[in-house]
Amino acid sequence: MLSRARRERGRETWRRFRRHRQAILGLALIVLLTGTALLAPALAPYDPDAQTDIVATRYQAPSVSHPMGTDRFGRDIFSRTLYGARISLSIGFLAILIAITLGTAIGAIAGFFGGRLDTVLMRGVDLLLSFPRLVLLVVLVALFEPSIALVTLVLGLTGWMGVSRIVRGQVLTVREMEFVTAARVLGFGRTRILARHVLPNVLTPVIVAATLGIGNTILAEAALSFLGLGVQPPTASWGNMVASGRDAMLDAWWITTFPGLAIVFTVMAFNLVGDGLRDALDPRRVA
C-alpha cells in the first residue's frame, strides 16, 4: 500500500529532474564512468601495471594500439585511466558516505537538542573548519602509512563538518514546523520525532550536498595522490598519474592530460547532477 505512493513520488521527482538537460548529461556521464569502472578488467586492453620492454614502449604518443599513449614505464595510459576510475570513484563514494553519516548525526543532534550540547558540538566544528582541509589531510596521512583505506577514512573525517552545519540549520527550521509540534502533542518520544519526522525532511539538502561533495572528494584525493600522500604507485589513481607526468608535460603531454581530463569531467558530471537534484527534490515544489 505504501510503496505505490512512494513510487509515484519518485516518478514525479524523476520527471522534474529530467527537465534539466545538463543534469541528464551529468547523469549519463556518471553512469558511463561507473560502468567503465566496474567493467575495467574487461575493457582495458592491457594490464595497467604491466611493463614490457620499457625502452621500447615508454613515452609513446597516442596511437591506435595505445589510444592514450604510454607513460614512462611503458604502461598503457588508457588501461590505467580505466582502473583509476575504480579507485577514484570508490574512494569518492565511500568517503562521502562517511562524511554524510558523521555530519548528519552530529548536525541533527546539535540542532535538535540544542543548548549546551549544540554549543559544544558547533564550536568543535568551527575549530575543525578553521584548518585548511588539505593541511588536515596531509597531517593525518603523514601520521600513518598511506593506503587507500587510510585515504578514504581521512577524506571522510575531514569532510563532514560542512554537512553538519547544513543539517543543523535544516533541523532548526524543521523543528519549529507544526507537524513536529503535532508529533509532540501526540505524545511521540524525542527519538521517534527526530528519526521519523525531522530527519526525512532534512535529507534533501544533504543529498544535494553529498552529490556535490563527491566531486570535491575526488579532487581532494587527486591532490593527495599528486603530493604522493594518497594512493601509492604502482596502483593507478588519476591523481598520481597526473603527478607522474608532471615533469614530462611538454614532451609527453598525454600522461598528465588524460587523467586530468577524467578528473575534470567526473567532477563536472557530479556537479551537474547535484544541481539537477537540488531542483528536483526541492520540497517547496512538492506542496
Give the residues lining the site for another protein (CB under 8 A). 1-2, 4-5, 9, 15-16, 177-179, 181-188, 192, 196-197, 200-201, 283, 285-287
The least CB distance from residue 188 to another protein, in Å, is: 6
The least CB distance from residue 178 to another protein, in Å, is: 4
The least CB distance from residue 120 to another protein, in Å, is: 21
Signed CA dihedral, 173, 179, 184, 185: sign only: positive
Residue (9 or 123) nearer to another protein, CB: 9
The least CB distance from residue 14 to another protein, in Å, is: 13
Residue (127 or 195) nearer to another protein, CB: 195
Residue (56 or 186) nearer to another protein, CB: 186
Residue (3 or 130) nearer to another protein, CB: 3
The least CB distance from residue 23 to another protein, in Å, is: 16
Locate cell 579532487: which residue? 219
Residue (9 or 246) nearer to another protein, CB: 9
Residue (56 or 185) nearer to another protein, CB: 185
The least CB distance from residue 266 to another protein, in Å, is: 31
